[in-house]
Structure 1
Amino acid sequence: MTDREKEILDILRENPMISQQELASKLCITRSSIAVHITNLMKKGYIKGKGYILNKSNYVTVIGGANIDIQGIPNKSIVMFDSNPGKVNISLGGVGRNIADNICRLGINTKLISAVGNDLYGNQILSECKIYGIDVDDCYVSNEVPTSMYVSILNDSNDMQAAISHMDILDKIDISYINSKHQYINDSLAIVIDTNLSKEVIDYITLTYLNIPIIIDTVSTTKCMKIKDIIGRFNTIKLNKYEAEALSGIKINSINDLELCSKYLLKQGVKKLFITLGKDGVFCSTKETNIKIDSMKVNIISSTGAEDAFTAGLVYSHLNNFDIDYSAKFAMATSIIALSHESTINPNMSVDNVEKILKEMILC
């Protein structure tokens, strides 16, 4: 969406019956220019019909982290407290941004609300997101705080050995900023958030948008504790085994433990629960059913973006009303695509490629 289209859309939200001439006068441009912008907004699906009726269900809003990923990959087993020969990859990252990128590649209109610095990396994030088709018009851009960075070191199994996350700028996405974007968030078909947001902001979003399905990625064992007391406000929660243990207080060593853990979390009010188990697959639950799905054998190139891709798969599944079993399998297929590429985002992510993997899963 262009800046001018955004201006026009803001006015239409306040007064859907305004005439094109009144719009032209208000914005000091010609009526013919207004007509062109209106046509473009209709083509893009933001408005429809007479009286500029707003189309409220044409995009998903993702609110969360955006940063630059710096990933170190050793040639051999890591030698601690020493310099290790290897290679270094730099790519766009951040849980929220990664999820938004994968959702967009699955063909869903996606808005990202995050914070970046007005610097080389921040401008790179915004420009590349726009190229991919992600709407970043409502991201916060800071002149004082630098863009977030995430530095990770992989081990000889291509799994993360250690990482450091510098995400202070995300504090700029506070309650006041979220409130300033209310019109756009409120028009979302679904909201996706990650726990890089502050506890206060998560609380505010989940209370303000109870009418919209909210899907959350819990990110880490420490950050997931921000939602311990408000689990019931989410439509869908995606977490790993350790985050599930942290939130439930139940140590998971067996299928029975997974069932007890999911029962505890579902009792809080969440509708759909997905616990990723790495090479052991995924355990998913609703009040009606529990399902354990084994993982496919896959050649792992990098595990960095797999969890984010899984969450994107859940968003797609929710929007397409897939049942819990197919939702888990679809999300697993998206994570397999992510695992098979060295970058955080696999450029080959698409519904067609997901469906190819799903066929393989059925045959296995």
Structure 2
Amino acid sequence: MSLTAREREIVALLRAEPLLDASALAERLGSTRAAVSVHLSNLTRKGVLLGRGYLVRPEAQSVLVVGGAVLDAKMRISVRPVIGSSNPGVSTSAVGGVGRNIAENLARLGSPTVLVAAVGDDLAGRTVAARTEAAGVDCRHLVTSTYPTGTYAAVLDDEGDLLVAVADMRATDELTVGELGVVPSLLEGADAVVVDANVSPTVVRWVLAAAAEAGVVGVFEPVSVAKATEAAAVFDGTVPVHTVTPNLDELAALVGRHVDPEVDGVVEAAGILHDRGVEHVWVRRGTRGSLLSVAPRPTAEDPAPERRVYLVSAPPTSVADVTGAGDAMTAGYVHSLLAGDGVVEAARFGQVLAALTVASPDTVRPDLTPALVAAHLTPDQPSTEERSA
């Protein structure tokens, strides 16, 4: 985030003595109470001060998430599925949405996280807000839509794999840049932003461009083949993006062509996104793990940096429910990056979190902690192999 020299002085004083008021701060700084009050207001707007009493934001790096928030309904068939017929099964409901899930995972990992998403003025919207806040996410900037809160209904087979899902995301689909006026000020207090393709391509482009202008890490989550297809035009080389996190089908949608699932085919397709302004392309390959393609931006010292490719294995796990695995991967990756890890270590962290998520019946594990992930993150698992591009 960008702070003035005076703002940094004020933050340092408040970290040492949290009970100082504006008058006391002015005396320490040799300034006026009115001038200090302006600085305090700016620090609150930037998200450095939290609420009244000048409580300073934790030094842990923070994330802004812009995307979908819905109520989920999941139905798992108890027997081998019979298409076109009624199947016995079990149904559950929970709060969900790609952006919201990513935000909850981040908050449970200890990354201060702000969610900007559209919800209706209805019971479902209040439920989404309350449950997400209870998980530690800052939901003060949710946008109230004239449409009802989104819903997502998923049908899983007897092994927990997704058969089909239907989403009513009109509240998110109709979210406009004009309704997101708070985003630039939130970016001033953020270290990374994640935007998912549930919002319109216009909003995706605007958020990623604002992140680049603010010097904030920008991560794009494609969500689905349909959403990735709509968002593909955003990646035309005009907006620099830190990371894009597609699966194989979403990668094909983003580049507008079939992608061979073998390593060479994925590397070739990732290269297309690199040419369109994406620095890191992290491709999910299911039980085969993931492929991370890295094309550092040219600098004066290194005008033609070498592209690198890493294969990250999928740790062994038992599948209870695959819902939310991709969201967990993205959250784990971003959390690890902001903890100071390199992109390869961040991909390994995200891969482990995905394995832990599919082993749980919950879309976001309620017992998720950094210690839980660390206990399963060993030098040998998941393994990483470097390949030439």
Establish whether TM, by shorter chain, passes 0.5. Answer: yes
Match of 2:180 in 1: 178
Letter aligned with residue 305 of structure 1? G
- Letter paired with 1:299: S
Gaps of 5+ in 1: 1-11, 24-35, 46-54
1:212 is matched with 216
- Residue 304 of structure 1: SS of its match in structure 2? coil
1:104 aligns with 2:104: no
From 135, 139, 148, give the equivalent of 1:136.
139
Contact 1:245–1:252 (CA under 8 A) maintained in structure 2: no
Aligned to 2:195: 193
Cα distance between partner residues in 2 of 1:235 and 1:207? 11
- Aligned 8 A contact 1:338 1:349 in 2: no
Among 223, 229, 237, the residue aligned to 1:225: 229
Please state how far the C-alpha of 1:173 moved relative to its aligned partner: 2.6
> d(CA) in 1 for partners of 2:343 and 2:115?
26
Structure 1 distance, partners of 2:321, 2:202, is 33
Q: Distance in 1 between matches of 2:101 and 2:139?
A: 13
- Deviation digits for residues 17-55 of structure 1 (CA, Å, limit 9, x no counterpart): 8837997xxxxxxxxxxxx9653433x44xxxxxxxxx9
Identity percentage of aligned residues: 25
1:64 aligned residue: 67
Tell me the residue number matched to 2:163.
161
* Secondary structure, aligned partner of 2:317: coil
RMSD across aligned positions (CA): 2.6
Select the residue among 297, 314, 328 that pairs with 2:347.
Answer: 328
Which of 376, 380, 383 pairs up with 1:357? 376
Distance in 1 (alpha carbons) for counterparts of 2:251 and 2:259: 9
Q: Equivalent residue for 2:319?
A: 300
CA distance, structure 2, for counterparts of residue 360 and residue 68 of structure 1? 38
Q: Contact (CA 8 Å) 2:225, 2:253: kept in 1 or not?
A: yes
Residue in 2 aligned with 1:234?
241
**Aligned residue type for 2:354:** S
Structure 2 residue 94 is matched with structure 1 residue 91: yes
Cα distance, 1:314 vs structure 2: 1.2
Q: Give the drift of 1:133.
A: 1.2
Indicate whether 1:247 and 2:254 are aligned.
Answer: yes
- 2:352–2:382: 8 Å Cα contact kept in structure 1? no
The reply to whether residue 343 of structure 1 matches residue 362 of structure 2 is yes
Partner AA of 1:228 in structure 2:
A
Quick one: which amino acid aligns to residue 291 of structure 2?
F
Give the whole-Å Cα distance in 2 for the aligned partners of 1:177 and 1:70. 28
Residue 280 of structure 2 is aligned to residue 276 of structure 1 = no
Structure 1 position 175, deviation (Å): 0.7
1:97 corresponds to which letter in structure 2? R
> Which residue does 2:120 correspond to in 1?
117
TM norm structure 2: 0.78
Paired residue type of 2:104: D
Out of 264-273 and 306-315, give the one that drifted further: 264-273
Change (3 A) 1:145 1:282: same
Give me the whole-angstrom Cα distance separating, in 2, the residues matched to 1:290 and 1:37: 44
Task: Name the aligned partner's letter for residue 341 of structure 1.
Answer: S
Q: CA deviation at 1:123?
A: 0.8
Question: Contact 2:248/2:261 (CA < 8 Å) preserved in 1?
Answer: no
For 2:363 and 2:380, locate their aligned partners in 1 and report how far apart those are by CA, in whole Å: 23
Partners of 1:149 and 1:81 in 2: how far apart?
A: 23
1:247 offset after TM fit, Å? Answer: 2.0
Measure how far apart 1:160 and its partner are.
Answer: 0.5
Q: Structure 2 residue aligned with 1:19, among 33, 39, 47?
A: 33
Q: Secondary structure at the match of 1:229?
A: helix
Matches of 1:19 and 1:126 in 2, distance apart? 37
- Alignment: residue pair count: 328
Measured in 1, the distance between the counterparts of 2:253 and 2:80 equals 30
Q: Evaluate the alpha carbon distance shift between residue 37 and residue 229 of structure 1 in structure 2; reply closer, same or farther with a 3 A threshold.
A: closer
The superposition leaves residues 156-206 of structure 1 with CA deviations (integer Å, 9 ceiling, x where unpaired) of 221100010001011453110112443123321111100001111112222
Partners in 2 of 1:18 and 1:362 — Cα distance? 57
Report the alpha carbon displacement of residue 323 of structure 1 after superposing the two structures with TM.
Answer: 2.4
| C-alpha distance in 2 between matches for 1:197 and 1:304 | 20
| Residue 38 to residue 120, structure 1, CA distance change in 2 (3 Å) | closer
Matched, 1:77 2:80: yes
CA distance change for structure 1 residues 360 and 153 in 2, over 3 Å: closer, same or farther?
farther
The alpha-carbon distance between structure 1 residues 85 and 234, as it changes in their structure 2 partners (threshold 3 A), is: same
TM-score using structure 1 length: 0.83
